[in-house]
Chain A
Amino acid sequence: MEVIVRQGDREERVRVRRADSAHGYEVTVGHHTYQVDAAAAGGLLSLRIKGRQHEVSVRPEGEGVYRVTTAAGAVAVEVADPLTHLARQGLAGKAAKRRQRVTAYMPGRVVAVLVQEGAEVKTGQGIVVLEAMKMQNEIPAEHDGIVSKILVQPGQAVEGGDGLFEME
């Protein structure tokens, strides 16, 4: 299997094939090839590379998206086959607008809307305040841009997955 793997700012071409031993894989990340012995252990994964053992967890979180937890913490890793990856790259051309819909990650109540439609906002700026679990949480803009649509109003109850606002 050959895929493109993205983690944070890193993007690598990765090849995986079975190796000869019972749990073995040969995994090439960029130019580096690893012999990996992988064994499932009670919901977690034990990876042995050159005698060093790493207990990790890999949780699928969508098409080709995995949340991988290692001793260093948890990261999101995206795995795409090369054709899908190229197609996505093409779509995200310079001329294409990045429209993003931000949804509620859990049910709650909208306490406040902090900006107006059309407002120019910066990364991390609070857009909507949601109340859940006796606490208020500010939902921020994930990048600089313009809030093109506000989809909720104060006092409104929302379910997980409901749209809160759209950004460009």
Chain B
Amino acid sequence: MAGKVKRKRLRKVLIANRGEIAVRVLRGLRELGIRGAVIYSEADRRSLPVLLADEAYPIGPAPSRESYLRAGAIVELAVEIGADAIHPGYGFLSENAEFARLCRDAGVTFIGPSPEAIAAMGSKVESRRLMRAAGVPVVPGGQDALPDLEAAAKGAAEIGYPVMLKAAAGGGGKGMRKVDAAGDLAAAYRGARSEAAASFGDDAVYLEKYIVDPRHVEIQVLGDLHGKVVSLGERECSLQRRHQKVLEEAPSPAVTPDLRRRMGEAAVAAASAVGYSNAGTVEFLLDASGSFYFLEMNTRLQVEHPVTELVTGIDLVAAQIRIAEGEPLGAEFDGIEPRGHAIEVRLYAEDPYQRFAPSPGRIELLRLPEGPGVRNDCGVYEGSEVTIHYDPMLGKLIVWAADRERAVRRLERALAELRIEGIRTNVPLYRAILADPDFRAGRLDIAMLDRKLAAGELRPPEGDGPADLAMIAAAIAHFERASRTAPPREGRRARWAAAGRRESLRGGSWK
């Protein structure tokens, strides 16, 4: 590192984000005695982060492009209000190298890595090149078009079967062929090229190693400004729908202590290769034989950071702030091993049985689960409006328990307690996932959720109430609504009794 690192206590931090992550960062700041300022769009004036903030500033109309993505305006605001630093959260500008640069040029500390590290890991080609140079395994293969069958055979032999032939000009499964052995290559090569030509007008194909039933396993890293990088262990995030993570857990059921050590070393090497500092995540594909391959690096704090916090006892937001203040990572960050098991689910305002259609509206009732081992990182409150302008994530529900089996039961218990009314949510999908035998056994791969959803599996488990329960409830509700409009015909005593009944049912859900 060139020059000495200045230690500078932060006094005020501007959070360039919204929703649950803004709340998370505010909590971290408050615990460190640092003033928290937030920006809010017109749609977010009454949002939870604003209510919890020390200072709050309007940043524009609802659309993200006119508010949370206004890099220049946000940096100017930070300077104007005397904020020492900006925390970018995740999404929005968090992995925007230009935004990090603007902060640096304005003398505002960006709570994250350098613009150079963000840029290096932001390019797929560049990051793979850097990883190879650092000795970090990457998915073998590349994007060079194969000129002929001989080149394909040679490349496949080098990579090792099974391999994938992929169309250079497009995706969606077209022009793709899995090849299990050398004998199948010629036919697959001809088929892939002609299908690519037919689908994209370009018959170029390239080779990649076919990774059998991969898991998505990522390593949390922290780097300080003095050159030290540590691994805090892994998270398993294989349950994804169309490449969006749906459920995350730590540790991974597939990772042994030895594999954890090796993946941790690879992740530290990856981060060091770009001079990484602050929090980051190195994503790998892990195959059934225990080989792992670099996928990409996320140069920010991630949505699923709580599962790592719960199994390591390390407060990642606090670590981010201390790192940004120039503190070196002390011995308490060395040799971290996970304790117990944590699982996180993301609560979304969408209906999983109506093609995941978003469900905006007012949250009329919110009862979050509590009790042992339950953590809520919720970004909304009862009465909040969920709008169409942003990602419909309401927050996260995370549980911790002594082992995975207990964590699964705890999460089932927590989901049974959870009540959200007024909008549809994806909670029924989680109940179905937790009941699924493959999930319970820890048999996960990145295609599993899409596969089960496409096959019509993952319907929520039946309750054990009487079959007529819903009809009874609706009939009673209807009866009460009807009796409100009808005049009482009984005598005085009966009228008191009726009033008493209505009183006991007041506040019920049939207004």
Contacts and interface: CB of A to CB of B under 8 A. Distances in A.
Interface in B445-503: 460-466, 468-479, 481-483, 498, 500-501
A34 B508 CA distance: 20
B421 to A, nearest CB: 5
A64 B478 contact: yes
A79 B358 contact: no
Interface string A50-66: 00101011111000101
Interface string B372-405: 0000000000000000111110000000000000
Interface in A78-130: 79, 105-108
B419 interface: yes
B413 interface: no
Interface string A1-39: 101010100101010101000110101010010101011
Interface residues of A, number: 57
A107 B506 CA distance: 34
A34 B472 contact: yes
A71 B416 contact: yes
A137 interface: yes
A49 interface: yes
Nearest to A46: B508
Contacts of A12: 468, 471
Contact of A47 (B356, B469, B500): B469
Contacts of B360: 106, 133
A43 B466 CA distance: 22
B6 interface: no
B473 A47 contact: yes
Contacts of A29: 468, 471-472, 475
Contacts of A7: 470-471, 474
Contacts of B388: 106-108, 132-133
Contacts of B356: 137
Contacts of A60: 477, 481, 509-511
B463 A72 contact: yes
B289 interface: no
Contacts of B424: 74
Given A47-B473, A68-B473, A77-B471, A105 B357 contact: yes
A151 interface: no
B390 A43 contact: no
B365 interface: yes
A73 B459 CA distance: 10
9 contacts: A5-B474, A27-B476, A40-B504, A42-B507, A43-B421, A58-B510, A71-B463, A133-B388, A134-B390
Given A10-B471, A43-B509, 20 more contacts: A5-B471, A5-B474, A12-B468, A14-B471, A18-B498, A22-B504, A27-B475, A40-B504, A52-B465, A56-B470, A66-B473, A68-B474, A70-B463, A70-B465, A71-B416, A71-B464, A132-B358, A133-B358, A134-B391, A137-B357
